Structure 1
Amino acid sequence: MDVLAAPALVSRLDALTAGPRPDLVLDLRPVSFIDCAGLGVLWFLRILRCTGLAGAFGIHPRRPADLIGTPVARSVSASAG
């Protein structure tokens, strides 16, 4: 995930979270590289903590068991890193 992939990721995440109560799981296991642009897109945990909203979201270090085996949307190019 680099500076070239970040705009597509931002666009897709915006579309996925446009609803009133979005439920989003990001599986980053296939990602082998993240540069500062990719981190900028994904650095939301710190923002949630700084704004006091971290407790309003379920944040898991790995994919929740009830989602294992469910289809994963692959809208961002696989070449994104």
Structure 2
Amino acid sequence: MLINVTRTGGFAGRERTASLDTEYRSDGPELEWLAERALSGECPADRAPVPDGFRYVVRVDGKLVELRDPYLTDEQRQLITAVLGEGA
């Protein structure tokens, strides 16, 4: 499974993109579960943005979801953190 996350916004307004492929990772099954939960979870992209908040575009095998901070589910936040490799 190919997972891609793009983060925009925040105080500096920088864009950051990262991808990972779960095929050969020891944590692949967990990441795939998080990705499925993230895509099926609440997607509050239509909620009002918060000042300096992040916006995320998550792509998983061709499926796309747009998310905004601070309206992320726990699974969405864990997936974003795992892909970007830092606190979301």
TM-score of the aligned structures, taking structure 1 as reference length = 0.24
Structure number with higher helix proportion: 1
Q: Work out which structure has the larger RCO, using CA pairs closer than 8 Å and 6 or more positions apart in sequence.
A: 1
TM-score of the aligned structures, taking structure 2 as reference length = 0.23
When Rg is computed on C-alpha atoms for both structures, the one with the higher figure is: 1
Structure number with higher strand proportion: 2
